[in-house]
Amino acid sequence: MKRIKRFGVSLEEELFNELNAIVRRHKFPNRSQAIRFLIRKNLTEEAYEDNKEVSGAIVIIYDHHKREVVNKSLDIQHEFTNIILANQHVHLSHHNCLEIIALKGKASDLKALSDKLIALKGVKHGKLVVTSA
């Protein structure tokens, strides 16, 4: 088990109220959990900005009836096999498919793959979600 270090924090009243609002909004059990969340979130954002190794997922929804969208998507993914961990394909309706691509690698590579896939004709929506490696 990881050792816990305790310390006191002094905040201006307005910032203290904002921290309490975060606790309520995210339903954290206490302020310590909120502070841990905010620190980890900041570290993940810095890792992404500094082009360090991160993990993430690309989620796209596309119309599989659009000409060549599936083949083009697969061609692009084959360019990035070094960062793709897994891929899940779900049929949402007769026209719409959901694809989730799990990734791990340099932040710039995740972004490059995401940008290429989301820009494909036939993709209705897409988003890259990044977290720590």
14-48 pLDDT, tens per residue?
Answer: 999 999 999 999 999 999 999 999 999 999 999 99
Mark whether 85 and 22 lie in a shared domain: no
| 24/64 same-domain check | no
> Domain containing 122 — which CATH number?
3.30.70.1150
Tokens of 17: 């109220």
Does the pLDDT at position 133 exceed 90?
A: no
pTM of the model: 0.86
Q: Is 115 found in the same domain as 61?
A: yes
Residue 43 lies in a domain: yes
Residue 32 lies in a domain: yes
If one counts the domains in the chain, the total is: 2
For residues 21 and 62, membership in a common domain is answered with no
Asked if 63 and 81 sit in the same domain, the reply is yes
Rounded to 5°, angle at Cα 79 from 73 and 84? 80
Does 65 lie in the same domain as 123? yes
For residue 77, give the nearest of 102, 97, 53 by alpha carbon: 102
Alpha-carbon span 94 to 89, nearest angstrom: 14
- Are residue 91 and residue 123 in the same domain, yes or no? yes
Q: Does 41 share its domain with 57?
A: no
Write out pLDDT tens, residues 53-76.
Answer: 999 999 999 998 988 999 999 999
Tell me which residue range forms the domain holding 67. 53-132
Same domain, 66 and 98: yes
83-119 pLDDT, tens digit per residue, is 999 999 999 999 999 999 999 999 999 999 999 999 9
93/31 same-domain check: no
Q: Considering the domain boundaries, does residue 8 fall inside one?
A: no
Claim to verify: residue 128 and residue 101 sit in the same structural domain: yes
Specify whether the CB–CB gap between 95 and 65 falls below 8 A. Answer: yes
Residue 124 shares a structural domain with residue 65:
yes
Report the distance separating Cα 117 and Cα 123, nearest Å: 8
